[in-house]
Amino acid sequence: MKRLKLITAFAGLATVVFGQGALDNSKLLKPPTTDWPTYSGDYTGQRFSPLKKVNDGNVQNLSLAWLYRINAPGATATVFKANPIVVNGVMYVTIPDHVWALDARTGREIWHHVHKSEGGIHLGNRGVGISGNWLYFETPDCKLVSLNLKDGKERWQKSICDLDQMYYASTAPIIVKNHVLVGVSGDDLDIPGYFESRDPETGELQWHWSVVPKKGEPGFETWPNEDAAAHGGGMTWGTTTYDPELNQIYFGTGNPQPVVAGKSRQGDNLYTASIVALNPDTGKLVWHFQPSPHDTHDWDNNQVPVLYDGEINGQKKKLLSVACRNGWFFTLDRTTGKAIVSKEYVKTNWAKGVDAKGQPIPNPDKEPQFAGALVSPNQGGAANWPPPAFNPATGLFYVNAARAFSVWYLYDTDDKPEGWGGTDRGGWSESMLQAIDYKTGNIKWSHKWEGSGGRSGLLTTAGNLVFAGDTTTNFVALNASTGEPLWHANVAAPVANAPISYELDGRQYVVVGAGDMLFGFVMYGK
Amino acid sequence: MLSKLSTKYALSAVFIAGTAAGIYAQAQAPAARPQRKAPTGQGLLGQAGAADKHIVDADAAERGKKVYIQECITCHGPTARGGQGGSDLVRSLVVLKDRYGSEIGPFLKKGHQTQGSPAAQFSKEKIEDLADFLHLKVGDTLRTSPLFRAQNVLIGDAKAGEAYFKGDGKCTQCHSPEGNLKGIGAKFEPVDLQQRFLFPKPGFGRGGKPTMVTVTPPTGPAVTGTLVQIDDFNVSLRDADGEYRAWSRINGLKVKIDDPYAAHAQLLDRITDKNIHDVTAYLETLK
């Protein structure tokens, strides 16, 4: 709060004219109302808005308030995959190398920052992190950049990965206390994954956690040798959630490398394709759970670990649930990492069952083969980066899912496969929005979309709604209890990010990205 | 590293390097190296790495291959992924950070200090050629490499495949080897045959039969046509006269979709990998 007052005093003009101002970081600890101050709205990853001015009784009156379209000549990835952040009436949104500040009431552009790129894969950018009056974002050329919220002027930039090893950076930084938490991407040169904490004032390294353990460390025994471990992958491009009471952060790790041809990395390959809990102050591993031991299907486990308090067998528990790319849903005790529920949320064909820890046991016959193996899910997975949502009122975990088949082939005949060494081809898929009972993993309701393809992230609200993109170009509101579609708008391109909601001047807004457009919907009237 | 030619490795390397060279920039004189253009058509992967990364020249890599075979192959192996005491060069930071010999050259000039090898007596041109070859080998591990392709998928039993085709697969309900599948084995590579019988539905650039839809309004006659678009809220079709027709899915409107590929989708849940390999082998015999 001290910082907020300070900024208000020194930057009063900007606050009045643009409605800008520093983030009171204590807002990160509460469900979002007038702001959407971090990737998931708050630290829980629930993407739950307590707002209910828009609800299952009136959502049909939701109106378009504004439309913003990217104007960035020369940009190479003009799709809004980023999660917008809203602080004090200003929205901050990105595509690779670009950050915009928009008026959250009107969509009017306030400033536009362009990062001069030195290369890297421009696949997408997940958004910004904000602490006080500073903004942080990652770039494809491996930079963590800090900007001034007020005007988008650069404060500093620090390298967080190595372009020459084909790393790139796309994650939305998460701010926990005095830590800027950053992850990295890169899946082609058999490189080690890691996760870092950076100083919010200087960008200097505070701690570095290697996804794959080194010789002598616990978990190393799941690799055949040091060379395999040193090139073992496990990227950290998902988002992070945080429990301040336990002082633990949670995130998922990516697939091991070589990606598809796994013969030179026999073993479970910890801590790739895992959910991990770390101490945010030290970067020390607290626990892990591995949904895809020895993954060979590119099933990154970077899906959002969602935190909530629930009841299991009459006992209150601190829980964590994930709907994984491999088609399995898990509910864990987030204090210990012990599995409570392990269950498919779409039908799959790659696991022989679960082990004593609740982890699926891969069927070796469904590893990629030179002559092909028919596997479900496909490479895209049953879920991917678009975030799920959890509604405390319904007790349901929502995920926009796909049930898909493809044939997995080994290509690399070398004694030491490198890179991918194979891939999947072809496919058939169907798409559905699954509402999962966190206590059992049972599907409470399933809304099957017509056709297949595009899937969006989700938002759920106290108005008993789930907002989602369908497989075409519709932005849809469904009844959170029953799955009945209640409202839609054709937004002219597949929904490309996850919706957010915030209230300004007593009006509830719902904002979603589709293609190169951001749509701001609002509920007018009382 | 600096050792005599190994005939065994040389033959392997000639084959591998020869097949790999094709994707990279067309031959240019060495003097033109700074103007090399990155190969096109590689999509997102073409963006990977630094903007000033080494761009491989195919002719230079071919010359560098000869240097590699003469000097390096015995220890570092035919694919440069390491071998008899030699490290994996395609994952070496010296190679990955190199631009046209900028790192490889100084490294070689020092000699292989850990092995006690003498400094390499390479000309600047030879070092640059070797750099091109090693970067080519790095590229061979990428998804954009020409080596990134299906191997032999014909491991099945054609007779068993025929039995499945005529039996449990129920394929003869729509297909016959003398009719609509006549000569199919000569038209496609085996891996493409396999893909087509598993995933025949349009959407992967192959065209195909249209999906038909019948819409029955509560107060009007049923209309059948080719499905144009459907979602939870609207449905549209093109009828037998080519007219575009559309309805909102309200007030008891009935919609029935006839997917001509439904039997293939249903097969996915029950076909085994052995069945797949057997049927592929069988279809390949239909020439």
Q: Give the pLDDT of residue B84.
A: 81
Task: Place A365 in a pLDDT band, splitting at 50, 70 and 90.
Answer: very high
Q: What are phi and psi of A435, to 5 degrees?
A: -110, 115
Average pLDDT over residues A162-166: 97
List chain B domain ranges: 7-140, 158-206+262-284, 212-258
H-run or E-run covering B18: helix B7-20
Nearest CA in chain B to A231: B91
Closest Cβ opposite residue A371 in set B82, B143, B153:
B153
* pLDDT at residue A449 greater than cutoff 90: yes
Average pLDDT over residues A41-69: 97
Q: How far apart are CA B90 and CA B141, in angstroms?
A: 8
Q: Give the pLDDT of residue B35.
A: 65
Residues of B in contact with A412 (CB under 8 A): 141, 147-148
Q: Give the pLDDT of residue B201.
A: 77
Q: Is A427 on the interface with B (CB under 8 A)?
A: yes
The string of DSSP codes covering A107-120 is --EEEEEE----B-
Interface test with A, best of B81, B191, B198 (most A CBs within 10 A): B198
Nearest CA in chain A to B235: A450
Q: Give the pLDDT of residue B251.
A: 81
Q: Is A119 on the interface with B (CB under 8 A)?
A: yes
Longest dimension (CA), chain B: 92
**What is the nearest CA distance from B119 to chain A, expressed in angstroms?**
26
Task: Place A262 in a pLDDT band, splitting at 50, 70 and 90.
Answer: very high
Which overall architecture, per CATH, does domain A31-72+456-526 show? Beta Barrel (2.40)
CATH fold for the domain made of B7-140: Cytochrome Bc1 Complex; Chain D, domain 2 (1.10.760)
Q: How far apart are CA A255 and CA A291, in angstroms?
A: 11
List chain A domain ranges: 1-21+82-237, 31-72+456-526, 248-384+387-442
Distances (CA, A) of A516 to A74, A105, A141, A492, B110: 14, 19, 22, 10, 52
Write out residues 156-175 of B within 8 Å (CB-CB) of A.
156
**What is the nearest CA distance from A418 to chain B, expressed in angstroms?**
6
CB contact under 8 A, A413 and B151: yes
Residues of A in contact with B91 (CB under 8 A): 189-190, 231, 418
Task: Place A119 in a pLDDT band, splitting at 50, 70 and 90.
Answer: very high
Q: Is A407 on the interface with B (CB under 8 A)?
A: yes
The one catalytic residue among A103, A187, A268, A298: A298
Q: How far apart are CA A375 and CA A141, in angstroms?
A: 34
Mean pLDDT by 10 residues, chain B (287 residues): 35 36 37 62 84 94 96 93 91 96 92 69 91 96 92 97 97 94 94 94 62 93 95 96 96 93 94 98 96
CB contact under 8 A, A451 and B230: yes
Residues of A in contact with B199 (CB under 8 A): 405-406, 426-428
Q: Is A472 on the interface with B (CB under 8 A)?
A: yes
Cis peptide, bond prior to residue A364, ω within 30 of zero: no
DSSP state of A233: B
Residues of B in contact with A140 (CB under 8 A): 47
Does residue A298 have an active-site annotation? yes
CB contact under 8 A, A416 and B88: yes
CATH fold for the domain made of A1-21+82-237: Lipocalin (2.40.128)
Task: Place A454 in a pLDDT band, splitting at 50, 70 and 90.
Answer: confident
